[in-house]
């Protein structure tokens, strides 16, 4: 898809984040390093997928090996960012423990941003029309005056000024449309991400599993990420990832 490719290229970072699982049994599967952990008959399988704009996407599968349904909510996944010594990272007064993104909430935010951008373009079109009417009126008035006075110098100056006004309005129209198209491409991709790719809230029946992407806010200062998921008894399933940052895009 050319539009999607263009969007992803335009959002390409100058530094690339990579997460490597360093806990549990780690195995390469389909080019990804995959790890897993379990507690209370609940198993979480995880691998790092990619950077996704302001998020890190992890491919997560949750298996219910209990005898009761599980109410799975992606925001129950928590990321604790750690230093090289695996101590809690100090984030200038902000908590180093972050909930995963809520796909329903983020989808609603994206819908709001789409409507806001559509209103912005409508307002810009109205303003451009008002500016064009003003320039046309000025052009007609001044041209009539110049024909009466028959002053070629004034007529040429007037023509240059109004032609520049027409050109500026046209340029503004092109810029307004370009900004709209760029933002809408991003928002449409965000909408697709939250509706189609993200792990959704669901009831996981005994013997069943669900899979999807869990999105975590990026924290470039961290050296490790401890991902945890609570079970019904209050025990947490933990998976540890090492974070590296490079200027070379990972293969």
Mean pLDDT of 61-71: 95
Instruction: Kindly tell me if the per-residue pLDDT of 84 is higher than 80.
Output: yes
Contact yes or no for 180/117 (Cβ under 8 A): yes
pLDDT band, residue 2 (cuts 50/70/90): very low
Mean pLDDT of 176-202: 89
pLDDT band, residue 81 (cuts 50/70/90): very high
pLDDT computed for residue 4 by the predictor:
44
Mean pLDDT of 10-32: 85
Mean pLDDT of the chain: 84
Higher per-residue confidence, 36 vs 113 = 36
- Among 72-81, 96-105, 174-183, which is the least confidently predicted range? 174-183
- Among 139-148, 172-181, 182-191, which is the least confidently predicted range? 139-148
Mean pLDDT of 106-117: 88
pLDDT computed for residue 155 by the predictor:
53
Higher per-residue confidence, 240 vs 151 = 240
What is the pTM for the complete model shown? Answer: 0.75
Chain center to CA of 179? 17
Higher per-residue confidence, 41 vs 129 = 41
């Amino acid at each position: 898809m050319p539009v999607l490719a263009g969007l992803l290229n335009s959002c390409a970072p100058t530094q690339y984040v990579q997460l490597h699982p360093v806990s549990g049994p780690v195995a390469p599967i389909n080019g990804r390093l995959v790890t897993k952990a379990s507690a209370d008959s609940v198993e979480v399988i995880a691998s790092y997928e990619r950077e996704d704009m302001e998020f890190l996407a992890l491919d997560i599968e949750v298996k219910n090996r209990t005898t009761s349904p599980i109410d799975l909510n992606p925001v129950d996944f928590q990321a604790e960012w750690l230093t090289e010594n695996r101590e809690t990272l100090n984030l200038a007064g902000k908590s180093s423990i972050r909930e995963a993104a809520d796909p329903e909430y983020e989808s609603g935010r994206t819908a709001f941003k789409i409507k806001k951008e559509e209103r912005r373009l409508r307002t810009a079109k109205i303003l451009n029309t008002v500016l064009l009417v003003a320039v046309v009126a000025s052009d007609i008035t001044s041209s009539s005056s110049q024909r009466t006075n028959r002053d070629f110098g004034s007529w040429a100056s007037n023509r240059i000024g109004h032609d520049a006004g027409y050109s500026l309005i046209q340029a503004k129209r092109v810029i307004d449309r370009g900004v709209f198209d760029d933002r809408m491409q991003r928002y449409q991709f965000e909408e697709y991400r939250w509706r189609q790719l993200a792990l959704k809230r669901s009831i996981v029946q005994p013997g069943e599993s669900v899979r999807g992407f869990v999105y975590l806010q990026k924290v470039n200062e961290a050296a490790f990420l401890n991902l945890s998921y609570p079970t019904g008894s209050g025990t947490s399933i933990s998976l540890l990832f090492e974070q590296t940052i490079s200027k070379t895009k990972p293969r």
